[in-house]
């Protein structure tokens, strides 16, 4: 497997454009228990809904005006060019000010609808 450097990654979201330096994506598949008596005491499952959330950390910048409740297209790109995109709602904003560091803002997103992977 070839490792990929993170320094060329990117994030695109309305009103969140400056200083983004890190993002995470959590893409989940729900499973539904469909076990019945015919399953010989072994659990059986089927795929249910998918869901996804993301977070992004940026150096704080007044140009970034995204706030909880905003909804827009979110695109997360890995250095290799692989993209993950869909509509997301900002669910949280955490601003961290440290006397020994740069002021950072962390944004939380809840995906709504399908996540596209290209």
pLDDT at 48: 97
pLDDT at 2: 79
What CATH number is given for 6-117 in this structure?
2.40.30
Distances (CA, A) of 53 to 2, 33, 61, 107: 26, 24, 23, 11
72: number of Cβ within 10 Å? 15
Domain ranges of the chain: 6-117
Q: Which of 95, 85, 83, 111 is nearest to 58 (CA)?
A: 95
pLDDT by residue, tens only, the chain of 118 residues: 678 888 888 999 999 988 899 999 999 999 999 999 999 999 999 999 999 999 999 999 999 999 999 999 999 999 888 999 999 999 999 999 999 999 999 999 999 999 999 9
Tokens 């000010």, residue located: 97
Residue 90: burial class (beta carbons within 10 Å; 0-12, 13-18, 19+): buried
Q: At 13, is the secondary structure helix, strand, or coil?
A: strand
Asked if 15 and 90 touch (Cβ cutoff 8 Å), the reply is no
pLDDT at 1: 64
Asked if 32 and 42 touch (Cβ cutoff 8 Å), the reply is no
């Amino acid at each position: 497997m070839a490792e990929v450097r993170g320094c060329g990654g990117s994030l695109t979201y309305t009103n969140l454009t400056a200083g983004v330096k890190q993002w995470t994506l959590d893409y989940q598949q729900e499973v539904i228990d469909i076990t019945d008596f015919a399953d010989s005491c072994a659990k059986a499952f089927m795929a249910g809904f998918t869901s996804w959330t993301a977070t992004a950390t940026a150096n704080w910048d007044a140009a970034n005006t995204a706030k909880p409740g905003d909804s827009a297209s979110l695109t997360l790109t890995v250095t290799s060019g692989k993209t993950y995109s869909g509509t997301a709602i900002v669910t949280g904003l955490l601003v961290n000010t440290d006397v020994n560091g740069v002021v950072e803002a962390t944004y939380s997103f809840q995906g709504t609808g399908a996540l596209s992977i290209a």
